[in-house]
Amino acid sequence: MNVPSNLKYTKSDEWFDPANGAAGITDYAQNQLSDIVFVELLVDEGETVEVGKPIASVESVKASAEIYAPASGTVSAVNKGLADKPETLNSDPFGEGWMIKIAGGNAGDVMDADAYTAYCDGRAH
């Protein structure tokens, strides 16, 4: 499981980059969902998001899931390319698979990489 140390993580498996405001789903989440076939972003540039509110809906061959904002602030960018290439979330969830960028973002209840890894390990048993 890939857990970059520069990011922050939520218990609902979203990541947040405090350096640039990017947010998306974790490697753990995409692995649990399996082959992602559909992504719908529920917010647009200029909108305000709040911690814990839905920002996207993702469907895979196994399940569907809502993705929640890991931080509050104003949406400064939306990765519109995900609609055409949802599989990007499986291949590069922390890079090209970012979903939105949040300006002025205040992270919610987030964990560092070590705490998130321990949290995921605890769920695997």
Read off the amino acid at residue 67.
Answer: I
Range of the domain at 15: 8-105
User: Per the domain annotation, does 124 fall within a domain?
Assistant: no
User: Per the domain annotation, does 123 fall within a domain?
Assistant: no
Which secondary-structure segment (H or E) carries 120?
helix 113-123
- pLDDT > 70? residue 61: yes
User: Per the domain annotation, does 122 fall within a domain?
Assistant: no
- pLDDT > 70? residue 125: no
- pLDDT > 70? residue 124: no
Q: What is the pLDDT of residue 108?
A: 84
Read off the amino acid at residue 55.
Answer: I
Determine phi and psi for 29, rounding to 5 degrees.
Answer: -65, -45
Do the Cβ atoms of 15 and 96 come closer than 8 Å? no
Determine phi and psi for 97, rounding to 5 degrees.
Answer: -90, 10
> pLDDT tens digit string along 68-106?
999 999 999 999 999 999 999 999 999 999 999 999 878
User: Per the domain annotation, does 40 fall within a domain?
Assistant: yes
Q: Kindly report the average pLDDT of the chain as a whole number.
A: 95
The pair of three-digit structure tokens given for residue 5, joined into one six-digit string:
């140390």
Q: What is the pLDDT of residue 50?
A: 95
Integer Cα distance of 106 and 92 in angstroms: 25
Q: What is the pLDDT of residue 20?
A: 95
Mean pLDDT of 9-19: 96
The pair of three-digit structure tokens given for residue 86, joined into one six-digit string:
């949802």
Do the Cβ atoms of 73 and 47 come closer than 8 Å? no
CATH code, domain with 93 = 2.40.50.100
Give me the number of domains the chain comprises.
1
